[in-house]
Homo-oligomer: A and B are copies of this chain.
C-alpha cells in the first residue's frame, strides 16, 4: 500500500487505520520524508517537529489498538497556518514581531482537530500578519511562481503532498486563490460555522477559516470536524451546522442550475481563464445562465476594502504602535492608507454588506451555485512580489458565502487555475453536492 497522500483519500486512510491495516505512524513518517525531500525548495513549513509529529501518530495508533475512542480524522496529519495558536509549536504570524511567541492555549480549530484524532506535524508559512507582504514560499508546480497568499504554506504543503489536508484563513481571497494557484481544492465554509478563537485577528468581520485538500470529499470531512458554536467568536451562530460530508455524498435531486455573472473585474482575467470558463459553460449548456452582475458589485468591492482597512487598523494597533520598524514597507503603507477610513464610511459599508446578504438570499432561490474564476489566472512570478490579486473572492468573502475552488483549468504556462463555486449562506452542503455533481459531470464528458 502506498503511503503517499493523493494515492488514497483521507477517508480511505481513516478506514484502513481504524481497521488496523495502516498506521498513522507510517502515514506521518511518509509525510515527513516528503517534507524533507522537497521543502528545501518550497519552504511551506515554518515550524516542524518530527518527534512531536511521530509521537502524536504513535499515540493515535496506540489508542486504536487499546480500543479507545477514535475520531473522524484518526491519525491524519493536518498542516496549520502559523496565525493559528498552538501549544506544541510557536505561533509567529509571519513577522519578526512575534518571533518565538508560544501560545498558552490551542486555538479552537486545533482543539477540534485533536478531538477528531488528527496529528499536527507543524505550522505552515503565512504572509506577514496574514496580510499582503509575500512570504518566501514557492509554488510546488514551479518554484519561480508564488503559491498565493496569505495561506501560502498550507496550500503549498498540500500541493506538494506533504500533508493531505491543511488549514488556512481568508479575509480577502487567502484560501481560494492559493488553492487555485497550487492546483488543489480550497473550501471557505459559510461565515460563523468554524470558530476563530485563537486565530490572529486582522478583520473581525471578514476573517474566516479556510481548508485545503487533495480531494473534495476529504475537505468536506475536515469541515465537519471543525464546525461548532463558540460564544467567544462574534460571527459564530447557535444553530445546526450544514452536514458537509453528507452533502458531498448526496445525489442532486435535479440537475443543478448555475449562474455565470459577467463581472466588473472580468477584464483582469487571463486569456486561458476566459477560454477555460467559456468551455465549461459550453459543456454545461442550458444548465448555466449568463447574467450581468448587478451594478452594486462595484460598491461591494469598495465596502470590503473599507471594512478591511478600518478593522485591520484597529486590530494592528499594538504592532503599529510598538513595532512599526519591524513591519514590512507593504504593511506600513497599507496601514497608513487604512488609517484614513472614517467611522461613517465604515458604518455605511457594514450596512451595505447587510443589504448584499439579503440580495444573495433571494438570488440563490433560483441558482444552485455561481460559477466564477478562483483567480484572474495562473500564479504570478515571485519576481512580481505579490501573492496575486484577490478580486475574484472579494464579494463572496464580504457576504460570508461558502466558496469552493476546484482545480479544473490550466494556464498559458501550464500552471493550474481554479474554478470557484459559490452558494447561498449556510448552504455549504448543497454547494458540496453541486460541486461533486460537476466533477462527475466533467468526468463523464471526458469519457
Contact = CB atoms under 8 A, between A and B. Distances in A.
Nearest to A64: B240
A238 interface: yes
Interface string A213-243: 0000000000000001101000000111111
A136 interface: no
A240 B111 contact: no
Interface in A417-447: 426-427, 429-430
A424 to B, nearest CB: 9
A283 to B, nearest CB: 27
Contact of A114 (B68, B106, B238, B426): B238
Contacts of A114: 229, 238-239
Contacts of A238: 106, 111, 114-115
Interface in A47-76: 63, 67-71, 74
A240 B69 contact: yes
A15 B119 CA distance: 35
A241 B115 contact: yes
A69 B116 contact: no
A106 B231 CA distance: 9
A358 to B, nearest CB: 14
A116 B67 contact: no
The residue among A69, A70, A426 with the most chain B CB atoms within 10 A of its own CB is A69
Q: How many chain copies does the complex carry? A: 2
Given A63-B239, A240-B74, A229 B115 contact: yes
Nearest to A74: B240
Nearest to A243: B69
A105 interface: yes
Contacts of A67: 427, 430
B231 A111 contact: yes
Interface in A80-136: 105-106, 111, 114-117
Contacts of A74: 240
B71 A240 contact: yes
Nearest to A237: B115
B105 A429 contact: no
Contacts of A68: 239-240, 426
Interface in A20-35: none
A115 B240 contact: yes
A53 to B, nearest CB: 17
B69 A242 contact: yes
Nearest to A117: B240
Contacts of A228: 115, 228
Contacts of A70: 240
Contacts of A115: 228-229, 238-241
B69 A426 contact: yes
A429 B116 CA distance: 16
Nearest to A430: B67
Nearest to A70: B240
Contacts of A231: 105, 111
A116 B68 CA distance: 25
Top 6 nearest A-B pairs by Cβ distance?
A: A71-B240, A69-B240, A69-B242, A117-B240, A114-B238, A115-B229
22 contacts: A63-B239, A67-B427, A68-B239, A68-B240, A68-B426, A69-B239, A69-B240, A69-B241, A69-B242, A69-B243, A69-B429, A70-B240, A71-B239, A71-B240, A105-B231, A111-B229, A114-B229, A114-B239, A115-B228, A115-B240, A115-B241, A117-B240
Given A111-B238, A114-B239, A115-B239, 20 more contacts: A63-B240, A68-B240, A69-B239, A69-B240, A69-B241, A69-B243, A69-B426, A69-B429, A74-B240, A105-B231, A111-B229, A114-B229, A115-B228, A115-B229, A115-B238, A115-B240, A116-B240, A117-B239, A117-B240, A228-B228
